[in-house]
Structure 1
Amino acid sequence: MKSFKFLAMSIMLSSLLAFAAACGNGEDAATGENGTEDTEQTEETGEESAELEGEIGIDGSSTVAPIGEAVSEEFSIDHPKVQAPIGISGTGGGFEKFTAGETDISEASRPIKDEEKTAAADNGIEFTEFKVAFDGLSVVVNKENDFIDQLTVEDLKKLWVEDGSTKKWSDINPDWPAEEVKFFSPGADSGTYDYFNEVILEDAAIVKAATLSEDDNTLVKGVTGDKNSIGYFGYAYYLENKDNLKVVPIVNEAGEAVEPTNETVESGDYNPLSRPLFIYVNNASIKDKEHVAEYVKFYLENAGTLAEEVGYVSLPEEEYTTQLETLEGLK
């Protein structure tokens, strides 16, 4: 009996030890598998981080900035070790840095000028232009303005070109108030100013009384703060503040007064104040910095959607596809 009890206890202990060993082996095995998976995942994550880590120099247009900011924010979700802050020194200021080799990407609300191309060449900078969206330069007045329902290009010239006089609304239309007009314009380094100069001022001096600022928010505040004010800036800034501003329809080349909308900007009916928006990319940055190449790819893949989200108008999809092919050829 004693021997049976001993045997039974031995069998029980052996079983328990075997079970414990099996559990231990299972845990070790599981740990080993999980450990292997964790190691592989860590290695993969490490590889991704190594591939996409670094800083991207971006500067330029305040008009294009909302698109760039949206791109950088979305890109950072998948690539948190890539820093891509958006500088805003105006299109001209951005090109000055870009052509000196100080930035990888320049955001612009106008095409690059010949003298800027020369500066880039002198510094050995080769670049590629990419269109990212359309903008409708919006002319706005104070919400309390109840007498303007449209303006012609000639009206805009009379208002904005310096002629030595104090501008009053009645100078444009005798039925309008004899009140002094307050002007708010983007600064001379802005691509928006350059575009307005090209199609409205035609290189004449802008009215001396105008308040100029590279910050579009300053212009919005100026127009909302004075009932006799007028200003202009990108379509996105109008949309963002449309509850506090009145947009002015502009008479186009067909003689129709047209308000800027997604449809009229894309169709070209809102002329002559519709325009494309750009980024310019240093070719060497594409070839030598993978994080820059991937960022530009992401920019072109998502520019249409993000441009619409921040208030601009996307290009036709085939244009983005063609530009992505161009980008691949630069790598």
Structure 2
Amino acid sequence: MKSLKFLAMSILVGSMLVFATACSGDEGSTGSEETDNNEQTEDGQLQGEVNIDGSSTVFPIMEAVSEEFAVEYSDVKAPVGVSGSGGGFEKFTVGETDLSNASRPIKDEEKATAEENEIEFTEFKLAFDGLSVVVNKENDWIEQVTVDELKKLWIEDGNAKKWSDINSDWPEEEIKYFSPGTDSGTYDYFDEVILDEEPIVKDATLAEDDNVIVQGVQSDKNAIGYFGYAYYLENKDTLKVVPVVNPDTGEAVEPNNDTIENGEYAPLSRPLFTYVNNASIKDKKQVYEYVKFTLNNAGDLAEEVGYVRLPEEEYTTQLETLEGLK
């Protein structure tokens, strides 16, 4: 009997030890998962993810930031999505992303959605851009364009348009249009300053990917399109940029670093942004370090990919704002 009691006791103790070990293992697993999401590995290396989406125009800057950031923080994953400014804000305002890149300011209705979802955010400027109007390299008739001509070109009027409908000196050939998609901040900006919120020509090819616009204009002598300055610079050997007449001075101005920064390239110069979820700054060290890295390097990297840096004091002021969010 004694031996049976001893055997039963041994089984009970053994079961308790297995249960305790299992519980201990579960607790360790949970701690590891939390570390993977946010903080640091056992050797002190920062790790986790930074969720980023938004503007295709801002994409070249943030892609460069993520590549450089990975050199210093190899255990942090920061891929950059490209769903357009509007598409990015749809995710950002419901808490799906940490950063939302935009080539236009956030709209009132997007702010309202963020407020409904208790998303507090901060806007940071990254660089300047000059929205560039481009035509096919073989186009030898258009040397400059006025704002009024851009309106005639791009606003829907119920007719298929020929170049000669805009300017009698231009050929009687039907125009082919390539534009950013309606989720794009570039489209929104063009809509505001050129279209006056009138409908865009119905036969325009709309694309969230600016490379589609590049290829479309490259492939047709009668094509016209527009996108961010960096995409023109990247393809300047195969595209022709059209100087835009400044409405105030009457001078035709080509987009370049100087004319974009000093505002001569009007009305198509604009700032580029990233919006940051304040909670992500407080709760995720990798997000704070990523944004800090961005502001410290945005000027150099923006110029490397074809945009125009802000005055240095603007980056300094924004770094101080970031510190206040911790």
Q: The TM-score by the shorter chain falls in which range?
A: 0.7 to 0.9
Match of 2:44 in 1: 48
CA distance in 2, matches of 1:61, 1:188: 12
Counterpart of 1:319?
314
CA displacement at 1:116 relative to structure 2: 0.2
How far the C-alpha of 1:316 sits from its partner, in A, is: 0.2
Instruction: Describe how 1:115-134 pairs up with structure 2 within 5 A.
Output: 115-134=109-128
Q: Does 2:276 align with 1:281? A: yes
**Structure 2 residue aligned with 1:74:** 68
2:90 to 92, 96, 100: 96
Q: Secondary structure at the match of 1:48?
A: coil
Counterparts of 1:175 and 1:233 in 2: how far apart (Å)? Answer: 26
Q: Does 1:141 align with 2:132?
A: no
**Structure 2 matches for 1:76-225, cutoff 5 A?**
76-225=70-219
2:24 paired residue number: none
2:6 is aligned to none
Which runs of no fewer than 5 residues in structure 2 stay unpaired?
1-39
TM-score normalised according to structure 1 size: 0.86
Matched-pair contact (CA < 8 Å) for 2:41–2:47? no
**What is the SS of the residue equivalent to 1:125?**
coil
Question: For residues 302 and 191 of structure 1, what CA distance do their matches in structure 2 show?
Answer: 23
8 Å contact from structure 2 (residues 230, 306) kept in 1 = yes
Structure 1: gaps of 5 or more residues:
1-43
Alignment of 1:190-269 (within 5 A): 190-253=184-247, 254-269=249-264
Query: For residue 15 of structure 1, what is the aligned residue in structure 2?
Result: none
Distance in 2, Cα, partners of 1:192 & 1:48: 41
The one-character-per-residue Cα deviations of 1:204-226 (angstroms, maximum 9, x if unpaired) are 00000100000000000000000
Q: What is the TM-score of this pair, normalised by structure 2? A: 0.87
Q: Does 1:270 align with 2:282?
A: no
Query: Post-superposition shift, 1:45?
Result: 8.3
- Secondary structure of residue in 2 paired with 1:135: strand
**Aligned-residue offset at 1:46:** 4.2
Deviation at 1:268, TM superposition (A): 0.4
1:3 maps to: none
The 2-side partners of 1:121 and 1:47 are apart by 39
Aligned Cα root-mean-square deviation (Å)? 1.0
1:48 to partner: Cα distance: 3.0
Shift of 1:175: 1.2
1:297 correspondence with 2:297: no
CA distance in structure 2 between the partners assigned to 1:48 and 1:99 by the alignment: 32
**Which amino acid letter does the alignment assign opposite residue 260 of structure 1?**
P
Report runs of 4+ in structure 1 exceeding 2 Å deviation. Answer: 44-48
1:47 Cα deviation from its structure 2 partner: 4.0
Partner of 1:38: none
**CA deviation string 1:34-55 (max 9, x = no partner):** xxxxxxxxxx984431xx2101
Give me the whole-angstrom Cα distance separating, in 2, the residues matched to 1:78 and 1:169.
Answer: 52
SS at match of 2:260: helix
Find the aligned partners of 1:211 and 1:199 in 2 and give their Cα distance: 20
For 1:269, the aligned partner's letter is E
> How many angstroms does 1:264 deviate by?
0.3
Q: In 2, Cα distance between the equivalents of 1:48 and 1:316?
A: 35
Q: CA deviation at 1:249?
A: 0.1
In 1: Cα distance, 2:188 partner to 2:169 partner: 32
- Cα distance, 1:172 vs. partner? 1.0
Q: Which AA in structure 2 matches 1:286?
A: I
Q: Percent identity?
A: 74
Instruction: Tell me, in whole angstroms, the C-alpha distance in 1 between the residues paired with 2:132 and 2:324.
Output: 36
Amino acid in structure 2 at the alignment position of 1:148: I
**Number of residue equivalences:** 286
Give, as a single letter, the amino acid of the residue that structure 2 aligns with 1:129.
E
CA distance in 2, matches of 1:45, 1:126: 29
| Residue 56 (structure 2) aligned to one of 25, 48, 62 | 62
C-alpha distance in structure 2 between counterparts of 1:54 and 1:182, whole Å: 46
Q: Secondary structure at the match of 2:266?
A: coil
